[in-house]
Amino acid sequence: MTKNLNTIVISVLCSLLCLAIYHYLQQEKVEQLESNYARLVAYQDQSSPYYPTYKEVSVADIDFVAPAKAAKNAVVAIEAITIKKEGFRNEKYTKSNGSGVIISSNGYIVTNHHVVKEAQEINLILEDRREFRAQLQGFDLSTDIALLKIEAEGLPYLKYGNSDRLDIGEWVLAIGNPFKLSSSVTAGIVSAKARNIDIFKKQGIESLIQTDAAVNPGNSGGALINRKGQLVGINTAILTYSGKYEGFSFAMPSNLVQKVTEDLQQYGAVQRAWLGVSILNVNAKRAKQLGLKEISGVFVDLVEKDGAASVAGLEYEDVIVSINGKPTATRPAFLEAVGQYRPGDKIDIEYIRAGKTRTTKATLHNQLNTTDYVAVRKDKIFTDLGFELRNLDQEEKERNEKEGVMVVSILKDSKIESVNMDPGYIITSANGKKIKSVNDLKTILESDNPEIYLNGFYENYPREWPYKFSK
């Protein structure tokens, strides 16, 4: 009996010892996994945009509650109503829904242009259920960004983060109104950067942030935020075969969005900078021909005469590898880098020629190959009448010894076309008042006067040409 009891006691003690050893080893493994995971959660050093430093955090600190709670109050639901006349007293209403992000306390809101395209009425619902009628302040087709304005003060808003500092694998949150559900929050990671999926058909600046955060119809124009609650992108598109989310969502980077919205606020149009080159991606064959060490950079296929690149000394077959220290490994990355600047800005260019790395400085131009702030205005009040306008640049003012506004294009079947105006017409006065800028003309068109009298000239014809139409 005593012998059996001793055997039982020894067995129990051995079992307890084994359990203790197993628990110790498992705890050590868990601690190691937590340590490794914590090292993957990176906070970039704000003092350096290119060389991140990392700070270890506990897995328990990975919490999306605070940023989500703050950010969702700055995301709005958008209902865009389009009215299409189909005959006498017959009207067809179409509605589209999307999201928007409040970016200032006084009511400026950014969204996608495709959300509000051609809308006659734009209605917003805030997180606190207040409703507002919004006015379209401007838009940019090249980035699918639109700027709205509501009459309100003291609104919660999101601050811009630096999208250049996003790392692959970094956690992000997508906030929007999918399927008309208010302020839905989904989480994911940054899957890729500078992604091109050709949604703009090669007509825009397509350098998108790819994430696996769930984005569905109605999310367009919503916020992509980092774990600090900063706006790092505007959710723009999904890649799908079913029409619903399949794991691939794309956002316009905040650095580009911020530049576009600031331009729309200050100038009414985007001040696009041009380097004056035609570029191609570097592929394996081209890299071998040029003796490049890496298959990276953009190949200069054409240099425009007297353009910014030509003045800076760039030549055919140069390979541009960075702009102001930011790598330009692909064509989308190059377009995004240049797209963050305005005409007249100076940039540092690193490039490779004949196997040697060189640097140069360039002063960016506009589409007219000058450094003036000149951009085509497509405000709704202009396009409704049927024309697109821009301010004259300094050279045009000096050449004609007059100030005014240039008619860039005329829309088919519009009021402006009906008066037989042609592109190239320079408007110098409207209803007897001098016109020095597009904003001057906009003020007169927004007045209560139903009749508009324009006076101006064409550069190739010496005399003045008047036009009259009703709004």
Residues catalogued as catalytic: 114, 144, 220
Q: Closest Cα partner for 217 from 130, 96, 54, 319?
A: 96
User: Do the strands 277-281 and 249-253 form a parallel or antiparallel pair, or are they unpaired?
Assistant: unpaired
Instruction: Measure the CA–CA gap between 103 and 88, rounded to whole angstroms.
Output: 42
Instruction: Measure the CA–CA gap between 451 and 386, rounded to whole angstroms.
Output: 16
Tokens of 391: 């301010």
Quick one: which H or E segment has residue 114? helix 113-116
Q: Bridge partners of 209?
A: 251
Q: CA geometry: angle at 155 spanning 129 and 79, to 5°?
A: 45
- The CA–CA distances, whole Å, from 85 to 93, 136, 301 equal 9, 21, 48
> Which conformational region is residue 160 in: left (phi greater than 0), alpha (psi within -120 to 50 degrees), or beta?
beta
**Cβ-proximal residues to 350 (8 Å cutoff; 6+ apart), any chain:** 320, 321, 322, 325, 357, 358, 359
- The CA–CA distances, whole Å, from 423 to 266, 379, 444 equal 26, 17, 21
DSSP per-residue codes, 249-314? EEEEEHHHHHHHHHHHHHHSS----B--EEEEE--HHHHHHHT-SSS-SEEEEEE-TTSHHHHHT-
- The CA–CA distances, whole Å, from 357 to 111, 183, 275, 301, 334 equal 41, 49, 19, 18, 17
Question: Exposed, middle or buried: residue 316 (CB in 10 Å: 0-12, 13-18, 19+)?
Answer: exposed
Q: Kindly tell me the sign of the dihedral angle through the C-alpha atoms of 289, 290, 294, 297.
A: negative
Q: Bridge partners of 317?
A: none
Within 10 angstroms of residue 263's Cβ, the number of other Cβ atoms is 21
- Rg of the chain (C-alpha set): 29
